[in-house]
Amino acid sequence: MDQRYDLVVIGGGSGGVRAARMSATYGARVAIIEEYRMGGTCVIRGCVPKKLFAYASRFHESFEIAESYGWSVNASFDWSVLKANKDKEIARLERAYTAGLDGAGVEIIKDRAVITGPNTVQLQQAGTTLEAKTILVAAGGRPFVPDIPGAEYGMTSNEAFELEALPHSILIEGGGYIAVEFANIFAGLGVHVTLLYRGDCILRGFEDELRRGLEDGLVRRGIKLIYETNLLEIRKSGDDLTAVFSDGIEAPFGAIMFGTGRRANTEGLGLDTVGVELNEDGTIPVDTYSRTTCPSVYAVGDITGRAALTPVAIREGAAFAETLFNDNPTEVDLSQLATAVFADPEIGTIGLTEKEAATHGDIDIYLAQFRPMINTLTDRTERMIFKLITDGNSGKVLGCHILGPGAAELIQLVAVPMGMGATKADFNRAIAVHPTAAEELVTFKKPTYSYRGGKRVG
């Protein structure tokens, strides 16, 4: 076999697959190397199975509301059915990803790759070496587990997707996306959940009202929150695990999960042999064309530490292929990123938070908090939140933050006018769709309050 390629891609996840497929479509001879399953984190043990589990966990709430609308529901839940159906769907997606690469003429290699030179990649099992004009590193990341005694008894999101049975209770450490989303999933499926976070409120960096609103939602769903505390040790005690906390308290749980962040898969990849510099956290610094410090080596996706989101990895992979194999230099603009937290209630967010915007000049804040209509026949007091942040002079929308049902879908659409530089007047030109929650975005008459000269007024 002739093993010389225009491009060798390391990692068959969101970024690598998109780059490989597009580059091959533009006529490049491409090989992609994947050591685990084609599709990577998002498809196999990230966004997709997580969202399927989130759907499963939400039926519980719907059944509760249903009674206020006259329905009687006698429901039970079987984890093994959900797990089997999830596995089937993930296997289908994996086949679809493989077929897409095949169809584009990409050579798929199942092995572990190590870079051995600026133009060579070694396959660890096969023991052979591939030659490539360009190497694209799209090897993603893996869960980070704090180094504490008994950490091996805990699990991460990887194992949470493969559980044979649900635990009776779970302690989840962390206050970010994964910890919060999994706390919701497990609670919605009937597990007693405790969320342990070292800070003073979940989702640091998100808009304050949304953090507090989601926190209320978690508590309402029976999730116990422990703040400003760390997990110091895990001990096995019979079928359970004992958690030892930094305040000296010990408590038993059916399972313990770490949602304590992720690290780039740069270790043992041979990057040092070709002079690719790394950031302190192990990610690969790249320029706006995804170039590393070695001219023949590029990097996209989570491994670059830009933004660990699937659509970002895909956009970076596509821009790489455009630049190198379609003679169309394309930079990736990550200045306005919409993102969602698939919890209950849901968060959708884009642009500057109030705190960030207030340091940029005069701004106006439009804030609405109300019970979503579906709750009105129920005794649920939970509120929906819409916050728009606009430039005090031009009216340009700088940030939009939504908490409540459908927030992820809503923020996707808000991202379009915001990308076009829309102002509040542009939003107001749209006639409301009634009765909807999102009509708030086009019917705000005047700011709820403002900042002038960095000080809050009104």
Ligand X SMILES: Cc1cc2nc3c(=O)[nH]c(=O)nc-3n(C[C@H](O)[C@H](O)[C@H](O)COP(=O)(O)OP(=O)(O)OC[C@H]3O[C@@H](n4cnc5c(N)ncnc54)[C@H](O)[C@@H]3O)c2cc1C
Cα separations in angstroms, 228 against 11, 231, 245: 37, 10, 10
Side-chain half-sphere CA neighbours of 32 within 13 A: 33
Buried b (16+ CB within 10 A) or exposed e, 272-281: eebebebeee
Q: Looking at this protein, which amino acid is placed at residue 438? A: A
- Report the C-alpha gap between 419 and 349 in whole angstroms: 14
Select from 62-70, 121-129, 255-263, 293-301 the region that touches ligand NAD (CB under 6 A): 255-263
180 assigned ligand-binding residue: yes
CB of 220 to ligand NAD, least distance (A): 21
Select from 84-92, 178-186, 242-250, 349-357 the region that touches ligand NAD (CB under 6 A): 178-186
310 by DSSP, 3-state: which?
Answer: helix
- Report the C-alpha gap between 440 and 367 in whole angstroms: 9
Q: Which is nearer to ligand NAD, 263 or 291 (CB)?
A: 263
Tell me how crowded residue 244 is: count the other CB atoms within 10 A of its CB. Answer: 18
115 binding partner (options ligand X, ligand NAD, none; Cβ < 5 to 8 Å by kind): none
DSSP state of 67: H
- Report the C-alpha gap between 340 and 342 in whole angstroms: 6
CB of 408 to ligand X, least distance (A): 9
Q: Does 146 bind ligand NAD (CB under 6 A)?
A: yes
Please report, to the nearest 10 degrees, the dihedral formed by the alpha carbons of residues 41, 280, 117, 140 taken in order.
Answer: 0
Q: Does 175 bind ligand NAD (CB under 6 A)?
A: yes
302 assigned ligand-binding residue: yes
Contact by Cβ (8 Å): 151, 25: no
- Report the C-alpha gap between 40 and 114 in whole angstroms: 18
Q: Which is nearer to ligand X, 40 or 217 (CB)?
A: 40
DSSP state of 204: T
401 binding partner (options ligand NAD, ligand X, none; Cβ < 5 to 8 Å by kind): none
Select from 23-31, 256-264, 289-297, 417-425 the region that touches ligand NAD (CB under 6 A): 256-264
Select from 11-19, 108-116, 173-181, 220-228 the region that touches ligand NAD (CB under 6 A): 173-181
Q: Which is nearer to ligand NAD, 167 or 176 (CB)?
A: 176
- Specify the residue for token string 């042999």: 273
Tell me how crowded residue 372 is: count the other CB atoms within 10 A of its CB. Answer: 16
261 assigned ligand-binding residue: yes
| Complete edge-to-edge strand list for the sheet that includes strand 250-253 | 231-237, 240-245, 250-253
236 assigned ligand-binding residue: no
341 assigned ligand-binding residue: no
Q: Which two tokens stand for residue 277?
A: 């510099």
59 binding partner (options ligand X, ligand NAD, none; Cβ < 5 to 8 Å by kind): none
Chain residues binding ligand X by CB under 6 A are 10-16, 33-36, 40-42, 46-47, 50, 112-113, 138-141, 157, 178, 265, 269, 301-303, 308-311, 313, 342
Contact by Cβ (8 Å): 296, 5: no
9 binding partner (options ligand NAD, ligand X, none; Cβ < 5 to 8 Å by kind): none
The residue number with the shortest CB distance to ligand NAD is: 176
The pattern of x and - marking residues 276 through 315 that bind ligand NAD according to CB under 6 A reads --------------------------------xx------
Contact by Cβ (8 Å): 241, 255: yes
Q: Does 179 bind ligand NAD (CB under 6 A)?
A: yes
User: What backbone torsions phi and psi does residue 33 show, to the nearest 5 degrees?
Assistant: -115, 125
173 binding partner (options ligand X, ligand NAD, none; Cβ < 5 to 8 Å by kind): ligand NAD
Q: Which parts of 262-336 fold into alpha helices (H)?
A: 310-325
Q: Does 198 bind ligand NAD (CB under 6 A)?
A: yes
Select from 215-223, 339-347, 349-357, 419-427 the region that touches ligand NAD (CB under 6 A): 339-347
| Active-site residue, 434 included | yes
Select from 52-60, 86-94, 118-126, 340-348 the region that touches ligand NAD (CB under 6 A): 340-348
51 assigned ligand-binding residue: yes
Cα separations in angstroms, 176 against 105, 216, 221, 235, 283: 39, 16, 18, 25, 19
**132: nearest Cα among 21, 2, 271:** 2
Q: Does 230 bind ligand NAD (CB under 6 A)?
A: yes
CB of 297 to ligand X, least distance (A): 13
181 assigned ligand-binding residue: yes
* Radius of gyration over every alpha carbon of the chain, rounded to an integer in angstroms: 24
230 binding partner (options ligand X, ligand NAD, none; Cβ < 5 to 8 Å by kind): ligand NAD
117 assigned ligand-binding residue: no
- Report the C-alpha gap between 302 and 143 in whole angstroms: 12
Write out the residues near ligand NAD by the rule CB under 6 A: 146, 173-179, 181, 198-199, 230, 259-262, 308-309, 339-342
Which residue numbers belong to the known binding site? Answer: 51, 174-181, 261, 302
Which residue numbers belong to the known binding site for FAD? Answer: 51, 302
Catalytic residues: 434
Which residue numbers belong to the known binding site for NAD(+)? Answer: 174-181, 261
